[in-house]
């Protein structure tokens, strides 16, 4: 559907002109580079190999070119400090007229951290004087029974702290259908009619009160808008890896966001959190299909956010990415391995979009979003194939020397032609288009933060470290794509948000083949194709050093040493945002009140929490079906503990069964009292 919502205060011509500039320059750059690439290919290479190299070059260079030109226009947008056109910006004094739900979906997360973030958001909302227009929902999909009870305990503690004008609700689903998207859908079905807007948070999300209020005002001033995405900024990074990602996001992220906003306008994407959604648009448009076939390509959609944005846009609603919205924060995975684990889920979710891409009536920009998401992961195996084919050609000359004199008699030998200068020029151009946008981001960063220290040396160091990490991530992502194509699905695991670091053993297990491939390639190239040695070294060096890079970059101590020398320091570390300070203080307080006993043991020893938990079962839905063997085993372990003090080692299923049966726990807790009563009754006649 190509309709433009009425809220767009921008002409079709202006929208077309912006997109024509970005994609026109991308196509022209790719065409010219490809024509040059065709001329530099060795003349003695078979036509099929040439065709493969040309296709791989087009796909690789087009991807680089789109990033370059989008960043270029983002740079100029930020330099001129203009709002994204086409959306009405209301006054900061405009009154609110609607109630908004803040949704925090959680899945086996750090309970104290989640509750602390919500309390900090609520406290910041109080400062705006608009807190009565917001309610907060903790939507738990937690499957760990011990964390489940921690959530209930800290929810009650948080209700004592939070402003009485803000309702803080908690519910836990017994069955985690469709993961996060199903969690949000369940909220909409049960409580969505009471709210005009909902703001989706992630477990590590922080959003300032002013930003939340401004997002609601924007939605009210633009009645045809379905989604507004606030670009989140990374904070609270401690390990070196996380600090590098945080710095890159702070310096380069703004021009990337501004570049996307430049050409996407009201057809933007949704990133799954730190965004406001019109509930009516979501309910009317976002009933997600279950894809046909088995996982990984079939089943429930993992990367649901892209699809929800496309469906809302198909329904005639606008979707906006607004770089002007500040005060939106998130955290980064602390290690390269944690980053790769998250990437594995995203890879499967994005490749699922291949089935969605050809759906009927989608806006053409939504199809571009899907293509970009798919290519963000296919680019790694494409790059790998490009390197392998080029290496195979070079090695082929060593083992199968070219024939200079054919059977046909000729006056001169058939010398193979290879344009070395042209190849170097294309390589330099690609490198320039990858790196130059980082310096554009640095210019904007220095303009906005003139007193920042170490920005240039941090940028140069980040470029070097990222160059070493890039081939490692290329191998990870290529492996992910291969696994998905072969039918291997990913499980839904809790994201590691801590900072324990990567052990040498774990790094050895995860990076052994990366290191082996790097060493083997270096030896082969040096022995048989020495002219490629220095060209391949940036790739092979990162692979050979993958184990120490993974370990050292995961260390908090290394990150702190870099901070002391003003490497990768961002302004939010010099002056921590007040909402982040509050979140840290609340987390310390909540950790102090967390009970030591967990799960069933907690219910046996805390009558107040037992009563709360029993009451909440009515909200948490029917108990999941459990086999008779699990029921019997759980009760035996519980009675052995009560009667004989044998420490129970409940399985997850056994403990969840007991948590859904407070009558069994209450009866077990009464056994010692009943035993003492019977003993006293038996002794009475003897006295």
Query: Mean pLDDT lowest for which of 99-103, 624-628, 678-682?
Result: 678-682
**187 pLDDT exceeds 70?**
yes
Q: What is the mean pLDDT of residues 342-359?
A: 89
Determine contact, residues 230/321, Cβ cutoff 8 Å: no
User: What is residue 397's predicted lDDT score, i.e. its pLDDT?
Assistant: 64
For residue 132, pLDDT beyond 80: yes
DSSP conformational letter for 132? G
Taking residues 131-136, report their average pLDDT: 95
pLDDT of residue 644: 81
Sign of CA dihedral 109, 111, 116, 122: positive
Residue 660 pLDDT greater than 70, yes or no = yes
Of 634 and 687, more confident: 634
Q: Report the share of the chain in percent with pLDDT over 70.
A: 90
Mean pLDDT rounded to a whole number for the chain: 88
Contact present, 227 and 313 (Cβ < 8 Å): no
Please report which confidence band the pLDDT of residue 10 belongs to, taking 50, 70 and 90 as the band edges: confident
Element (H, E) at 100: strand 100-106
Helices 304-314 & 336-356 angle (0-180, nearest 10):
40
The three-state DSSP-derived secondary structure of 432-500 is HHHHHHHHHHHHHHHHHCCCCCCHHHHHHHHHHHHHHHHHHHHHHHHHHHHHHHCCCCCCCCCCCCCCC
Stretch 358-372: mean pLDDT? 91
Tell me which H or E stretch contains 639: helix 628-644
Instruction: Select the more confidently predicted residue: 644 or 157.
Output: 157
Question: Above 50 in pLDDT, residue 528?
Answer: yes
Peptide bond into 258 cis (omega under 30): no
Q: Greater confidence, 64 or 620? A: 64
CB 452 within 8 A of CB 569: yes
What is the rounded CA–CA span in Å between residue 85 and residue 227? 16
Bridge-based pairing state of the strands 275-278 and 197-200: antiparallel
Distance CA 644, CA 640 (A): 5
72 burial type by CB count under 10 A (0-12 exposed, 13-18 middle, 19+ buried): buried
**467-486, pLDDT tens digit by residue?**
999 999 999 999 999 999 98
φ, ψ dihedrals at 577, nearest 5°: -55, 140
pLDDT over 60 at 286, yes or no: yes
Among 351-365, 450-464, 589-603, 665-679, name the one with the lowest average pLDDT.
665-679
Give every CB contact of residue 122 below 8 A, 6+ residues apart in sequence.
Answer: 131, 134, 136, 162, 163, 166, 168
**pLDDT tens column, 603-655:** 988 888 999 999 888 877 778 888 999 999 999 999 888 888 888 899 999 99
* Residue 665: predicted pLDDT: 87
Calpha distance 577→569 (Å, rounded): 14
For residue 117, the model assigns a pLDDT of 96
More confidently predicted of 71 and 288 = 71
Residues in the chain, total: 687
Contacts of 226 (CB under 8 A, 6+ apart): 277, 278, 281, 282, 285, 312, 313, 315, 317, 318, 319
Distance (Å, whole) CA 86 – CA 10: 5
Q: In this model, does residue 398 exceed pLDDT 70?
A: no
**pLDDT band, very low/low/confident/very high, at 677 (cuts 50, 70, 90):** very low
Per-residue pLDDT, averaged over 229-235, amounts to 94
Report d(CA 406, CA 395) in Å as an integer.
22
pLDDT at 230 over 60: yes
Higher pLDDT, 53 or 211: 211
Phi-psi region of 111 (alpha: psi -120 to 50; beta: other; left: phi over 0): alpha
Q: What average pLDDT score do residues 53-81 get?
A: 92
> Rounded CA gap, 236 and 204, in Å?
10
For residue range 482-501, what is the model confidence (pLDDT) as tens digits? 999 988 877 666 665 555 68
- Residue 2's pLDDT band, with cuts at 50, 70 and 90, is very low
User: Taking residues 524-529, what's their average pLDDT?
Assistant: 85
For the chain, percent of residues with pLDDT exceeding 90: 60
Average pLDDT over residues 441-450: 94
Bigger pLDDT: 389 vs 507: 507
Cα–Cα distance measured from residue 322 to residue 76, given in angstroms and rounded to the nearest whole number: 15
- Looking at the DSSP bridge assignments, the partners of residue 267 are 319
Residues with Cβ < 8 Å from 264, sequence gap 6 or more? 321, 365
- Residues 190-218 have pLDDT tens digits of 999 999 999 999 999 999 999 999 999 99
First to last CA, the chain: 91
Residue 538's pLDDT is what?
Answer: 87
Please determine, for residue 280, whether its predicted confidence score (pLDDT) is greater than 90: yes
Whether residue 275 has pLDDT greater than 80: yes
Where do the H-state alpha helices sit in 486-627?
Answer: 504-528, 533-544, 546-553, 556-564, 571-574, 578-593, 599-605, 607-616
| Least confident stretch, 176-180, 320-324, 343-347 | 176-180
Is pLDDT above 50 for 4? no
What does DSSP assign to residue 18? H
Mean of the pLDDT values across residues 417-435?
81
């Amino acid at each position: 559907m190509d309709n433009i919502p009425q809220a767009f205060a921008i002409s079709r011509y202006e929208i077309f002109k912006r997109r024509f500039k970005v994609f026109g320059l991308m196509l022209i750059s790719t065409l010219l580079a490809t024509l040059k690439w065709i001329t530099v290919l060795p003349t003695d290479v078979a036509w099929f190999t040439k065709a493969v190299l040309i296709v791989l070059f087009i796909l690789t260079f087009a991807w680089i070119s789109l990033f370059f030109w989008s960043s270029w226009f983002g740079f100029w947008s930020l330099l001129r400090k203009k709002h994204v056109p086409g959306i009405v910006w209301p006054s900061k004094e405009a009154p609110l007229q609607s109630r908004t739900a803040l949704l925090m979906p959680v899945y086996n997360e750090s309970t104290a951290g989640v509750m602390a973030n919500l309390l900090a958001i609520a406290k910041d909302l109080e400062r705006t004087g608009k807190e009565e227009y917001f309610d907060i929902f903790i939507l738990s999909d937690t499957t760990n029974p011990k964390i489940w009870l921690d959530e209930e305990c800290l929810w009650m503690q948080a209700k004592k702290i939070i402003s009485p004008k803000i309702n803080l609700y908690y519910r836990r689903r017994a069955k985690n259908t469709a993961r996060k998207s199903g969690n949000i859908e369940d909220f909409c079905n049960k409580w969505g009619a009471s709210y005009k807007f909902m703001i989706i948070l992630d477990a590590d999300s922080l959003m300032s009160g002013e930003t939340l209020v401004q997002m609601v005002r924007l939605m009210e001033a633009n009645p045809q808008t379905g989604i507004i995405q606030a670009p989140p900024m990374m904070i609270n990074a401690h390990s070196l890896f996380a600090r590098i990602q945080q710095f890159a996001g702070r310096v380069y992220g703004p021009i990337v966001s501004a570049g996307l906003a430049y050409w996407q306008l009201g057809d933007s994407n949704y990133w799954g959190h730190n965004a406001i959604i019109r509930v009516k648009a979501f309910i009317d448009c976002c009933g997600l299909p279950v894809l046909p076939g088995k996982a990984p390509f079939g089943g429930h959609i993992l990367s649901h956010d892209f699809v929800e944005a496309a469906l809302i846009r198909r329904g005639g609603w606008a979707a906006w990415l607004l770089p002007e919205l500040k005060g939106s924060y998130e955290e980064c995975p602390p290690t390269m391995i944690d980053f790769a684990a998250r990437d594995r889920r995203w890879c499967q979710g994005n490749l699922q979009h291949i089935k969605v891409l050809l759906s009927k009536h989608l806006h053409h920009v939504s199809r571009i979003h899907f293509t970009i998401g798919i290519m963000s992961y296919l680019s790694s195996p494409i790059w790998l194939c490009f390197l392998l084919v080029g290496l195979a050609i070079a090695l082929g000359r060593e083992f199968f020397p070219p024939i200079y004199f054919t059977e046909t008699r000729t006056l001169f030998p058939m010398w193979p032609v290879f344009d070395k200068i042209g190849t170097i020029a294309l390589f330099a151009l690609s490198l320039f288009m990858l790196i130059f946008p980082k310096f554009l981001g640095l210019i904007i960063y220095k303009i906005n933060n003139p007193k920042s220290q170490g920005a240039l040396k941090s940028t140069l160091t980040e470029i070097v470290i990222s160059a070493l990490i890039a081939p490692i991530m290329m191998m990870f992502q290529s492996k992910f794509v291969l696994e998905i194509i072969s039918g291997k699905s990913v499980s839904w695991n809790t994201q590691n948000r801590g900072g324990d670091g990567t052990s040498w053993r774990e790094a050895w297990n995860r990076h052994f083949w990366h290191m082996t491939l790097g060493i083997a390639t270096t030896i082969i190239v040096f022995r048989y194709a020495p002219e490629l040695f220095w060209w391949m070294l940036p790739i092979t060096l990162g692979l050979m050093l993958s184990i120490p890079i993974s370990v050292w970059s995961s260390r908090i101590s290394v990150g702190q040493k870099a901070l002391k020398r003003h490497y990768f320091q961002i302004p939010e570390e010099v002056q921590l945002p007040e909402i982040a300070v509050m979140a840290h203080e609340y987390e310390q307080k909540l950790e102090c009140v967390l009970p030591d006993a967990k799960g069933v043991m907690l219910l046996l020893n805390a009558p107040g929490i037992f009563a709360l938990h029993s009451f909440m079962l009515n909200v948490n839905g029917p108990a999941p079906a459990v086999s008779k063997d699990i029921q019997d085993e759980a009760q035996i372990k519980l009675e052995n503990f009560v009667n004989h003090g044998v420490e129970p080692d409940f399985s997850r299923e056994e403990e969840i069964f007991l948590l859904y049966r407070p009558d069994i726990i209450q009866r077990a807790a009464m056994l010692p009292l009943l035993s003492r009563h019977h003993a006293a009754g038996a002794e009475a006649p003897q006295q």
